[in-house]
Structure 1
Amino acid sequence: MVLSVAGRVGLGLSLDRSIRCGPCGAEGLNHDGDNSVCLSMAMKCNSDPVVCKFLADAGVGFDCASKVEMQQILQLGVHPSRIVYANPCKASTHLQFALNNTVDLMTFDDLYELVKIQNHYPNARLLLRIQSSKEHKAKHDFNKKFGCDPDDAPGLLRTAMEMSLDVVGISFHVGSLPEEVSSFASTIKEANDVFTYGEMLGFDMQILDIGGGFPGIDSENMTFEMVAETVNEALERHFPVARGTEIIAEPGRYLVTSAFTLAVNVIAKRVQHVTTKCSGYTLAPSSLTLLVSRDKDYSEGDSDEGTDLDDSIDEEGDIDKGQRKIYMYYVNDGIYGAFNNVFTDHAIVFPELVSKLPCKPKTFPSMIWGPTCDGLDCVIHECQLPELDVGQWLYFHNMGAYTVSLSCGFNGIERPRLFYVCSDTCWNHVHAAPNQSACSSSSSTDDWEVCTHKNAPKQVTLKNKGKSLTTQIQHFSSAQSFVKG
């Protein structure tokens, strides 16, 4: 299996306020009144060391939830002021680590956390995390686990004042993949009410952390531009530039989703007859209709229109044995690896063939399974694919968010091996060196190195521990000796 890192690991956010990378809080404020948005990357979304190094070098801040995450970022040379310890439920030992390394900006959401902070890090700068608006839903709603009810926030702020703790702002998270962009506006309004109350109590309220929830892939109902427009309007209404509030945003999905492409190898194959009367896998006629509706063009030409299943369904809704087949493919990564987002994130993934076929092939109802012995390890329950052979490669786009950071190596299946690729244009833009000769400049982080080729402007080579791999997708099949799995 291969994960290639390319595409957008970038900072092209389109919020009206300028995107600024730098310290969060008082050190990062522009006291001339032009408060910009401080960009922060949630480590839970993608903690790949090369991605983190790239973002760190660009000046991005980081949202960390544990000692290990803080340690990783600090080892990159990131200043502690660019880290938000954004876990409202912190282990005391992790809190002590934050103190020892002067990571002083952190969140809280209840009395017990205030007591813990007072005992271990009384000089910390605190963000009160509130629940997002209850009017809206998200695919992953955090309200049950994190955040205080905005109605309870005044009491917590008064308690923090009595304990002589330093509350400097408010944070929230509308949930991962919110269903409506208006959830940002509603929660920003509620945050303003709590923020204002904190100011009335005498706290020096400086920061509003609007969290994540930004889409990594645009959909009909949710695009980044839609979110940005909604956020801009709400900020202008409740936190105008003249107010001087530091705004932190954590668009992890937006930064890394499209930057990763996963290539997997078909390691095994089974064919089963689709019928409600024979043993083996059973597929309802309604599902078969869905399979046909998801037919995909795998060629550059016109030919067969694909598989029509209607003729094989009898009057009782059964399928004649032997008339239709379902192809079951087993690949070398699954839900315990980079496809974890299918199980935990309800992600919908669809494979592409590495090589275009000469004509439009006949397609068949297919399933794609992961390599482990767990019966739940299914990547795609139903799709239309041409017949594949063992050893063929498939690839999946947009695999950068909540994939490698969630993989665990269950059943001894190795995690995907990563290859880092970059176009000449992007490489020269990042390193500001437009006229370099072939391989005259490279960037190394431990065991990886990328360098551009003068004779192939859009091709780069990865050198890994003495091995070289040209990372054009059509060459994956010839690079199997370099691929684990």
Structure 2
Amino acid sequence: MSTLLRIDSRDYYDADTFSRIREFADGKQTPFVVIDTGIIGKQYDAMTEHFPYAGVYYAVKANPAAEILTLLKDRGSNFDIASIYELDMVMNIGVSCDRISYGNTIKKRKDVKAFYERGVRLFATDSEADLRMIAEEAPGARIYVRILTEGSGTADWPLSRKFGCQNEMACELLVLAKELGLVPWGVSFHVGSQQRDIGAWDAAIGKVKVIFERLKDEHDITLGMINMGGGFPANYIDPTNELATYAEHIHKFLVEDFGDDLPQIILEPGRSLIANAGVLVSEVVLISRKSQTALERWVFTDVGKFSGLIETMDEAIKFPIVTDRSGELEKCVIAGPTCDSADIMYEHYSYGLPMDLAIGDRLYWLTTGAYTTTYSAVCFNGFPPLKDYYL
């Protein structure tokens, strides 16, 4: 058996932060996630420090809590919006329309009209039908086209297949946008969430450069913006480079292709801003073995794929888990509480938990501030959505 990794909270949080979260969690009924907004503020400041030339558009889908949106609004963030419901959330806390991008390429006509009527003028697209609808419902709007990118093999949570179009179509759409009275403004891409290969940005920026040059040379269209999406990492089990390293290399890639006079650059971080701020607290419901000679324990918790941990699908995101037990580690299967057999978080990954772990013990899932509350089911098996608290 391979050596099992013992998780230490001190590798993820300073002692005071984790103690404060633990103290707050005491006595509360599990499962729930506790999010330290101070960490989010520090992450945002780091993003703007390392990318001083870029506009930050927070990906609201990562966690739309009013506490987070308000903090980021006050910090100066813009917002990447995926639906009319997210638009309501940010505008209800006083975000102005010039700080909003409608970044979803799949949208209803009535929603495009509503965004436009409320003042939003920046829209993503990746298809002709969507572009023509925007031209009809949002005349004169700025358009950016999302392109397909590689990088799915090195991103823990790939995003490239569903969204985007090939370079040839991107050029055609931007030319058509001008013909339809829209403003062909830029190109966007997303290299995949939790992208550990910094070179994925190099390849994508190279594709964008070709589109910029072709439109300028062949159609006299000068684009003004590159939307580089998200993809920056959070601190899970698998190691990644520091944000400063990403920033250094990405800036080099941009300068190599576009020189020192860069177009407007947009970033859409979600995970990298808020994941590290969250600790999900759960309880061990059952520990069992499938036979008297089975080598692996099954550890069932009161949180699972349908209550916030969907990103463990295919064991893609490997959350660090801390317990109060200090016994020898033993490989186990970790599963959720529902009646769905897909509700297994880790079965193949060599995840070790202490042998003295007992029913009723708490598990602390670290780095769970992003994509937990938003992925939580409403009432599967009657379980309520994941509770969330903000410090």
- Bin of the TM-score, shorter chain as denominator length: 0.7 to 0.9
1:393 paired with 2:362, answer yes
* 2:288 maps to amino acid: R
Matched with 1:236 is: 255
- Work out which of the residue numbers 182, 195, 200 in structure 1 matches 2:212: 195
The amino acid across from 1:42 in the alignment is: A
Alignment of 1:370 onto 2:336: yes
Residue 136 (structure 1) shift: 6.8
- Closer/same/farther in 2, CA of residues 138 and 330 from structure 1, 3 Å limit: closer
Q: Deviations over 1:87-136 (max 9, x none)?
A: 11221121111112111101111211121112211221111212225797
Question: What is the SS of the residue equivalent to 1:168?
Answer: strand
Q: Which residue of 1 aligns with 2:310?
A: 340
Structure 1 residue 364: Cα displacement: 4.1
The offset of 1:14, in angstroms, is 5.7
- The aligned amino acid for 1:361 is G
Q: Specify every segment of 5 or more residues in structure 2 that has no aligned partner in the other structure, as ranges.
A: 1-30
Q: Give deviations 1:233-278, integer Å, cap 9, x for gaps.
A: 01222234434x2111112121011100011112334344453xxx
170-179 or 117-126: bigger deviation: 170-179
1:104 to 121, 134, 137: 121
1:248 paired with 2:214, answer no
Residue type at the aligned position of 1:225: A
Change beyond 3 A, Cα 1:235–1:16 = farther
Equivalent position of 1:262 in the other structure: 280
| Match in the other structure for 2:35 | 5
Q: Note if contact 1:46-1:400 (Cα within 8 Å) is conserved in structure 2.
A: yes
The structural deviation recorded for 1:152 is: 2.9
Number of corresponding residues: 352
Tell me which residue corresponds to 1:448. Answer: none
| CA spacing shift, 1:345–1:111, aligned 2, 3 Å | farther
Matched AA of 2:148: Q
Which whole-Å deviations, capped at 9, do the CAs of 1:434-478 have from their partners, x for residues lacking one?
Answer: xxxxxxxxxxxxxxxxxxxxxxxxxxxxxxxxxxxxxxxxxxxxx
Letter in 2 for 1:259: A
Q: Name the counterpart of 1:331.
A: 301
In the TM superposition, 1:59-208 aligns within 5 A as 59-133=76-150, 138-200=155-217, 201-208=219-226
- What is the alpha-carbon distance in structure 2 between the residues aligned to residue 159 and residue 274 of structure 1? 68
Question: Partner of 1:321 in structure 2?
Answer: none
Residues 18 and 181 of structure 1, relative CA distance in 2, 3 Å threshold: closer
Conserved in 2, the CA contact under 8 Å of 1:364 and 1:387? no
TM-superposed deviation, 1:190: 1.4
CA contact (8 A) 2:335 2:343 kept: yes
Aligned mates of 1:141, 1:37 — CA distance in 2: 23
The change in CA–CA distance for 1:81 and 1:199 in structure 2 (over 3 A counts) is: farther
Write the distance in 2 (CA, Å) between the matches of 1:135 and 1:328. Answer: 31
Distance 2:342 2:215 in 1: 48
Aligned counterparts of 1:168 and 1:183: Cα–Cα separation in 2: 23
More helix by share: 2
C-alpha change, 1:208 and 1:390, in structure 2 (3 Å) is: same
Distance 2:86 2:337 in 1: 29
CA contact (8 A) 2:308 2:377 kept: no
Q: Name the SS of the counterpart of 1:13 in structure 2.
A: helix
* 2:350 pairs with 1:384: no
Q: Using the TM superposition, give the Cα deviation of residue 79 of structure 1 relative to its aligned residue in structure 2, in angstroms.
A: 0.9
Separation of aligned partners in 1, 2:292 and 2:95: 56
Contact 1:16/1:232, CA 8 A, preserved across alignment: no
What residue ranges of structure 1 are gaps of 5+ in the alignment? 20-35, 276-281, 283-323, 422-485
CA shift digits 1:206-256 (9 cap, x unpaired)? 22111111111275454423322221101222234434x211111212101
Tell me, in whole angstroms, the C-alpha distance in 2 between the residues paired with 1:182 and 1:254.
18
What is the aligned partner in structure 1 of residue 376 from structure 2?
A: 407
Structure 2 SS opposite 1:242: coil
CA contact (8 A) 2:212 2:222 kept: no
Change (3 A) 1:363 1:87: closer
Alignment identity in percent?
A: 26
Q: In structure 1, how many angstroms separate the alpha carbons of the residues matched to 2:159 and 2:327?
A: 45
Compute the displacement of 1:2 (Å). Answer: 2.3
The offset of 1:186, in angstroms, is 1.4
- CA-atom RMSD, angstroms? 2.5
2:21 aligns to what?
A: none
Shift, 1:377, TM fit? 1.1
Alpha-carbon separation, structure 2, partners of 1:100 and 1:274: 66
